[in-house]
Amino acid sequence: MSVALATPFAEDRSIDLPRLVAHARQSLADGCDGLTAFGTTGEGASLGANERQRALGALVGAGIDPRTQLVVGIAASSVEEAIAQGRAGLMLGCGSFLLAPPFYFKAPGDEGLFDWIAAVLAGLGPKANNVILYHIPQVTSVGLSMELIAALKKAFPAQVKGVKDSSGDWENAQALLKQHGDLHVLIGDERLLAQAMKLGASGAITGLANIAPDLMRPLLDGIEEPRVNAMVEAVLPYAVTAAVKALVGHRRGDAAAWSRMRAPLRSLDEAECRALFAAVDAIRSKRAA
């Protein structure tokens, strides 16, 4: 289980490196196996190459092993920027990447997506040896078809090693596991994780691990945890990334600092926070079924 690491910001909206490092360390101590930086929950599409480099340097400098504990999210529309984001990880010894499709261009088709992803993989080179294709069409408006995944894994077998399915579509997850079980299929929607693990999924990259990694561990053994599903349902009515960050601050006793978002995203207001915190605290206090 890799936590889709939330990114804290200082008052000037630069990355708050001490808080980022502290949260990363605590997430590992709380039961996460690794960290995925700059994903959707980490506001990766809002972060530039230079600040990514500084953040990764801080994590690695704090003892995070880039070879075994770190996945670097890539979110860009240009091939050049995607490669630059990947090289920020390669420079520090990280070979694992979560590669989102180019989200600015709608309905490019499989041929266009193949060419774009192929150019990124070629630019990153063989040291990027654990690339996870990122399927989250509700955010990118660009989905990864079964046929596209098949073509990419055939063309780049030494690089394409997995798919993260954050669509929340159980039929899509089943199809991935059936057709691409030779890849690591990782689940983003926590409500589907236990079912998917029973069918051969490899694990999860998950935003909820920022706040409840202890409750999520049984899911990896195929054991349902109703409190996890209830937490997801409590979060979904809000802007999800802002809600997760607010809950991190609530859990850490550091609400003001963790409430900050990078524009254009906004923070939850006080009333939203009160309602969300009350709901999640009530869910966590219940005993497992």
Give the tens place of pLDDT for each residue, 208-235: 999 999 999 999 999 999 999 999 999 9
Per-residue pLDDT at 287: 66
Residue among 98, 36, 163 nearest 174 (CA) = 163
Integer Cα distance of 273 and 261 in angstroms: 14
Integer Cα distance of 221 and 240 in angstroms: 26
Place of tokens 């990419």: 152
Per-residue pLDDT at 289: 45
Angstrom CA distances, 117 to 82, 100, 202, stand at: 9, 9, 23
Q: Looking at residues 31-45, what average pLDDT do you find?
A: 97
Note the pLDDT tens digit of each residue in 124-159: 999 999 999 999 999 999 999 999 999 999 999 999
Tokens found for residue 9: 């910001």
Per-residue pLDDT at 104: 92
Residue 163 three-state SS: strand
Q: Looking at residues 81-105, what average pLDDT do you find?
A: 96
Per the CB < 8 A criterion, the answer to whether 118 and 131 are in contact is: no
Per-residue pLDDT at 106: 87
pTM beyond 0.85: the answer is yes
Residue among 204, 225, 198 nearest 214 (CA) = 225
Residue 250: pLDDT above 80? yes
Percentage of the chain surpassing pLDDT 90? 97
Q: Looking at residues 11-20, what average pLDDT do you find?
A: 97
Per the CB < 8 A criterion, the answer to whether 99 and 74 are in contact is: yes
Runs of H (alpha helix) within the chain: 17-29, 49-61, 79-90, 109-124, 137-140, 146-155, 170-179, 193-198, 213-216, 226-235, 240-252, 255-258, 270-285
